[in-house]
Chains A and B, each alone.
Chain A
Amino acid sequence: MGIEGIGARVARKEDKRFITGKGRYTDDMSVPGMKHAAFVRSPHAHAVIKGIDTSEAKKMPGVIGVLAGAEMKTDGIGSLICGWMIHSKDGSPMNMGDWRPLAETKVRYVGDAVAIVVADTKAQARDAAEAVKVDYEVLPAVTSAVDALKPGAPQIHDNAPGNQIYDWEIGDLDAVDKAIASAAHVTTLDIVNNRLVPNAMEPRAALGVYDEAEDHYTCWTTSQNPHVARLVMSAFYNVAPENKLRVIAPDVGGGFGSKIYIYPEEITCLWASKKTGVPVKWVADRTESFLTDAHGRDHVTTIKMAFDADNKITALKADTIANLGAYMSLFSSVVPTYLHAILYSGQYVIPAIHCNMRTAYTNTVPVDAYRGAGRPETTYALERVVETAARELGVSPAELRRKNFIREWPYQTPVILQYDSGDYEASLDAAMKAADYDGFPERKAEAESRGKKRGIGMSCYIEACGIAPSQAIGSLGAGVGLWESAEIRVNAVGTVEILTGSHSHGQGHETTFAQLVSDRFGVPIDSVSVVHGDTDKVQMGMGTYGSRSGPVGMSAVVKALDKVEKKAKMIAAHLLEADESDIVIENGQVKVAGTDKALGWHEVALNAYTAHNLPADMEPGLKETAFFDPANFSFPAGCHICEVEVDPDTGKVEIVQFVASDDFGNIINPMIVEGQVHGGLAQGIGQALLENASYDPETGQLLTASYMDYTMPRADDLPSYHVSNTVTPSPLNPLGIKGCGEAGAIGSPPALINAITDAIGNNNLNMPATPQRVWAAINAA
């Protein structure tokens, strides 16, 4: 590696604008004539709309327009869709209820948009929104998926009888039931995976600009995947044809999944811009974010794990009900199925696996992918049941895991997936060493002498990143392909532009992608620019989520670099009168190996563009494009160990040590990878200790709709982390990368809950393990 190449701990190129206040987020954008929008939202969880009276609102100061759903429907704006078809086990397609961007006849959750108000200022728009009178006939509401599936529950969508979206299964139920019946030991656990709000710090926003002269729309929006936004808004929502719609996702302040989806607001701002003749900007306030950003998790599971007399796992059975909220968000259907159920082998050889998944509509915010998306839910259930089994069997949790580890790769699980590579024992050993696992009994005794209950817990997780290949996911119901594109433009002076369909909203692509070029051509990263987030600049891309920017996005860059390198070498060979196979590129020089004949990188670039002396038949220029569609997912894995002290008088949990040993394959920039792990751990610890989206079950009101009610992890809630890596490169992409974005959020919740239950001696504990719950569990033990 060079000092700025692959593997280098390079400080980020993009930081300067952020630390000096020069970041450009959607709310920072301003265009001439721009006006401000506020949405009229349902205060009821479930109600029939009997009428909407906008007359008073239209007379309010500064108001330019008040628009409701009926008009939108007349204009042909389409309903929101879920982009992944899942079929129930009886063969029937999932029941997708109609989701209008502005509800016309019925509202189904508190926050459902009913109308948009456009005014001179944001304050005026809000004032006028409050003056819109909506006549609601309030209906009974249901917020829990378990309750929604019970007979007699309020019916939310006409085409989803009993509120069921699908009843899906995977695996061999007979084999699993036989194995359980003949097992030496079966551990059963009832698990709740608590509902979370992603809470990117930048609230969602959209600025829609309609240009009448060109009949063209521009949308600045807080998106993780602007190209998908354009595709969906064109193909399904009939906002405009793709060539008449430009989507720009400028600096985006975090996403964690919540900014993948195309929401009603951006569609409505674009449409309203045409209707009112002014550019329309909307920025969510925090409560609006709580009420409308897709939530995450919300599973209720019964899991069983069967063992033979030698403590080898013989079967696993998981039965889950998942809450998908009031409507099916863009990828909501795949999260509990192909991002969750097929991960149930974990790091273990399990001969028989079966998972049944029922999903339900409720009168809550739609639920979709949030950091880890399905995989944290799997890992939480699996790693708690393994730890519980170890306690029941009276064996070491580490040794029970070790005994059952997969040890040969590629490994075919019984539930579709084939793992690429790994060494789970290496991660376990590294984590146990870093945590001084063997020294725990001494520390526990010392804590006891101070009146504290000390516990240790671990989790050995597996993740699946870079969902692929396109053909395979298409056969499983995906409505899109999941490749990535890249274009490398070498300018005439040798500087380089990378155009990528990946989108950075904190991940540091402007640095790590540039490191690939620096590594290849020896040019400094300051001579490399990364262009992303604009559908006018980058032809097509699938965006950033599920740790796909490394294994998929960077691989596309590598493929394009291969082509550029080949052409550069041909040009150099021609100019230096050498054989192409003798040309090497080192430290910004293009050389004939073993001689002093060399050209500067910039000279080769200049020659490509002057085209005065190119090989016969070669086209001028030095610019190449590539698409990369991986052969399979990549499978990061690792071991997290958490040690806690619990105050038995108050139930307060203190994390005294958190160790993560992760295998992400090869690493481009260790500093950035560590940062991803830290952030993931904080979100996982937040889920385990603090966070919960709580609904009033009667009224369907979200009780935790601000930072005064929803407990975001703060600096003094969290420890410093000990993170390290083991490496088994993925054989599935040219860089050997596996992905690192979700690992922290996947591995940490079970490690933490295993530690707390170890400390208090009561396994009956749900997340978030608040002091109240922990205290109650101690006193029930």
Chain B
Amino acid sequence: MSKVEMTVNGRTVSAEVEDRTLLVNFLRENLNLTGTHVGCDTSQCGACVVHVDGKAVKSCTMLAAQASGSEITTIEGLAAGGELHPVQAAFREHHGLQCGFCTPGMIMAATDMINRYGGKLDEKTVRAELDGNICRCTGYHNIVKAILAAAEEMSGSAKVAAE
């Protein structure tokens, strides 16, 4: 058994878990944060993407013990103060989701992507960057649109904040 302690969506949590417990299982089963999904078990589909210390990580690929001491943000913690995050809002506005199962991972990966590129994204880059996230419903067309729109919105507001 391992003792793990981490900050999840701003709240400090700790537990004794089996050594083999994956971060995704810890989030889903111990913390009941079921927005993070398991879609493939082989780190291919990205339904389980969360942010670990500010970076997108496939939580099915990381042991809970490895994440001990980290700061985790899940899809449940992305919206601040009841306001949707711009990426969440863009996915709704541009119909970037259908069944919703891949959506939390897509949104977490997209947020990380926009942050890394400082909002400077084009369609080709977005498509290449989405290589680790599989969607079976949308054909990606509207996901790409949503991410580009969110990137523009976020870089626009970043500029305003900088000024």
Contacts and interface: CB of A to CB of B under 8 A. Distances in A.
A681 B136 CA distance: 11
A617 interface: no
Contacts of B75: 19-21
A256 B99 CA distance: 11
A714 B137 contact: no
A601 to B, nearest CB: 28
B34 A28 contact: yes
Given A682-B139, A716-B127, A254 B99 contact: yes
A140 B139 CA distance: 40
B136 A679 contact: yes
A683 B136 contact: yes
B37 A19 contact: no
B44 A16 contact: no
Contact of B103 (A18, A706, A712): A18
A715 B100 contact: no
Contacts of A505: 99
A251 interface: yes
B138 A679 contact: yes
Contacts of A506: 98-100, 137
Interface in A700-735: 706-708, 712-716, 718, 720-721
B136 A200 contact: yes
Contact of A715 (B35, B39, B45, B143): B143
Interface stretch (A154-162, A292-300, A429-437, A670-678): A670-678
B26 interface: no
B124 to A, nearest CB: 8
A201 B45 contact: yes
B144 interface: yes
A120 B40 CA distance: 23
Given A200-B136, A253-B101, A21 B76 contact: yes
Given A19-B91, A201-B45, A706-B40, A715 B137 contact: no
Contacts of A252: 99
B44 A707 contact: yes
A27 B38 CA distance: 9
Nearest to B45: A707
B39 A286 contact: yes
Contacts of A600: none
A202 B37 contact: yes
B135 interface: yes
Interface in A191-240: 199-203
Given A11-B95, A12-B92, A19-B92, A25 B142 contact: no
Nearest to A371: B136
A681 B84 CA distance: 30
B141 A678 contact: yes
Interface string B3-39: 0000000000000001010000000100011111111
B18, B39, B74, B126, most chain A CB atoms within 10 A: B39
A253 B100 CA distance: 6
B123 interface: yes
Nearest to A14: B100
B87 to A, nearest CB: 9
Interface bracket on A: 35 or more
Contact of B128 (A254, A683, A716): A716
B79 A675 contact: no
Contact of B39 (A202, A251, A678, A713): A202
Nearest to B91: A19
B72 interface: no
A715 B140 contact: yes
A679 B134 contact: no
Contacts of A414: none
Contacts of A21: 33-36, 74-76, 78, 104
Interface residues of B, number: 56
B92 A720 contact: no
A18, A22, A283, most chain B CB atoms within 10 A: A18
A123 interface: yes
Given A22-B35, A253-B101, A256-B136, A15 B91 contact: yes
A23 interface: yes
Given A15-B91, A20-B76, A712 B42 contact: no
A508 interface: yes
Interface in B38-90: 38-42, 44-45, 47, 74-76, 78-79, 84, 88
A582 interface: no
A79 interface: no
Nearest to B40: A286
B149 interface: no
Given A18-B97, A507-B98, A720 B123 contact: yes
Contacts of B78: 20-21
B102 interface: yes
A17, A20, A508, A708, most chain B CB atoms within 10 A: A20
A23 B140 contact: no
B93 interface: yes
Nearest to A716: B127
Contacts of A508: 98
A675 B84 contact: no
Contacts of A24: 34
B44 A708 contact: yes
Interface in A250-275: 251-254, 256
Nearest to A504: B99
A285 interface: yes
Contacts of B20: 123
A495 interface: no
Contact of A201 (B76, B102, B126): B102
A287 interface: yes
A23 B100 contact: yes
Contact of A251 (B38, B76, B100, B127): B100
Interface string B122-163: 011011101101111111111110000000000000000000
A679 B103 contact: no
Nearest to B79: A20
Contacts of A679: 98, 136-139
A691 to B, nearest CB: 11
Contacts of A714: 130-131, 133-134, 140
Nearest to B132: A714
Contacts of B114: none
Contacts of A16: 92
Nearest to B100: A18
Contacts of A19: 75, 84, 88, 91-92, 97, 100, 103-104, 107
Contacts of A716: 124, 127-128, 130-131
B42 A682 contact: no
B42 A254 contact: no
Contact of B141 (A12, A707, A708, A720): A720
A718 B124 CA distance: 11
Contacts of B38: 27, 203, 283, 285
Nearest to B135: A201
A116 to B, nearest CB: 20
A12 B20 CA distance: 39
B151 to A, nearest CB: 15
Given A14-B100, A19-B91, A712-B45, 12 more contacts: A18-B103, A20-B35, A21-B34, A121-B18, A201-B134, A201-B137, A508-B98, A675-B98, A707-B45, A715-B135, A715-B140, A720-B123
19 contacts: A15-B100, A19-B103, A19-B104, A23-B35, A123-B18, A201-B39, A202-B101, A251-B99, A253-B99, A254-B137, A283-B38, A286-B42, A674-B95, A675-B137, A679-B138, A683-B139, A707-B134, A714-B134, A720-B141
Interface of B: 18, 20, 28, 32-42, 44-45, 47, 74-76, 78-79, 84, 88, 91-93, 95, 97-104, 107, 123-124, 126-128, 130-131, 133-144
Interface of A: 11-12, 14-25, 27-28, 30, 121, 123, 199-203, 251-254, 256, 283, 285-287, 505-508, 671-672, 674-675, 678-683, 706-708, 712-716, 718, 720-721, 744
Closest 6 A-B residue pairs measured CB to CB? A21-B35, A253-B101, A18-B100, A682-B139, A506-B99, A21-B75
